[in-house]
Amino acid sequence: MAFEFLQPVSENIVNYVESLSNQSLGKKVVMHTSTDFPNLDLCSLALICVNENRGAALTNEDFSFDSFRKQFYTLYPGNWQKSIADLGDVVAGESLTDTYFVIKTICEALIKKKIIPIIIGGSQDLTFAMYRAYDHLEQMVNLVAIDNQFDFAKENGKESNGYLSKIIVEEPTNLFNYSNIGYQTYYNSQEEIDLAEKLYFDAFRLGEIIKNPAVVEPVFRDADLISLDLQAVKSADSGNNVSFFPNGFDGREICLLARYAGISDKVSAFGIFNHLYSSNEFHLIAQIIWYFIEGHHYRSLEYPFEDKSNYLKYIVLVEEEELVFYKSNRSERWWIEISIKNKYNKTTNHTLLPCTHEDYLAACQDEIPERWWKAHRKSYL
């Protein structure tokens, strides 16, 4: 059983929840306790805490997630109908590889049940284990990282700084696209920036998103796996004053991005990493997860398209290329059609790439949308 590796929530938390208001989130979550395991057939989302930091070259001390749970359970839920389970903790294995195996096994089992695992790490290399959970799910993976760095380069023995290279290189290669949200140029070498461009990955600088957060909503709409590095949040808002980051997203912006992730019909796994187990950061993590769940409640279930009668179709001719756009009558969100070449059997499949209204307007001005161009070029790699 995939869930035999999970340790139950502490008795301290069980007793704490008993003292909370009946309207609090703690009274709405079903917990894995020493005497009971949640009925997963009734759950839509599952919280799992992972005490594993060796990927960040840190000693694996016996940290407790009780502080996080107290912050999260004290919050009040929205008008949510989805059931949430707290499956407890994953304790670090004998080796880092052992922990990866446990996370992969648990996430795969949950995704197969159409339950979204919400992983609270731990170092960000645990994203690699979550990605490997898709190995037997017969699908390509779109990974979105909210991060101030690309994490191509392993430095000072830190797997968390090089996990993306492992994802790109190691078999099986399930990665279709990687998108970085909020990178800060001075934390990335020019070689890394050039590599992201060469591989036709999507990358959005911090300033670009702060100016217009809606520009990345289509990126989240097309994602399967979201990895959030808490170091992408400026220290004044995260509370991380040990590894000080003067610039980054503020608390409101990071919660907005979490809501974009939750509202995506396609996102099936979400992870938050690289925090310092501090009470200040747990305040923010609790609210990030709250906004992710809030977004999940408001999913419009527009993906994949089953009936195109609910969409308006627009055809735009750009540089002798016929671009086909669809606009939802319900949410007013936009998609653009793209042809994917299968290099093995020489066939062409048509799929829909989320985009913005601005992409359509740009096409009307004879400009090919950048995300369409990158996806089109990638199909020939």
pLDDT digits (tens, 9 = 90+) for 160-213: 889 999 999 999 999 999 999 999 999 999 999 999 999 999 999 999 999 999
Q: What pTM does this model have?
A: 0.94
Q: Where do we find the tokens 């309207």?
A: 23
What does pLDDT average to over the chain? 91
Fold of 2-297: Arginase; Chain A (3.40.800)
Listed by start position, the domains of the chain span: 2-297, 308-378
CA geometry: angle 289, 292, 296, nearest 5 deg: 140
The length of the chain, given as a count of residues:
381
Q: Is 153 helix (H, G, I), strand (E, B) or coil?
A: coil
Residue 347 has pLDDT above 60, yes or no: no
Alpha helices in the chain (DSSP H): 11-18, 66-74, 96-112, 126-132, 163-169, 190-198, 206-211, 217-221, 235-238, 251-263, 279-297, 357-364, 370-378
d(CA 196, CA 210) in angstroms, rounded, equals: 21
d(CA 152, CA 207) in angstroms, rounded, equals: 22
pLDDT tens-place string over residues 107-166 = 999 999 999 999 999 899 999 999 999 999 988 999 999 999 999 987 766 888 899 999
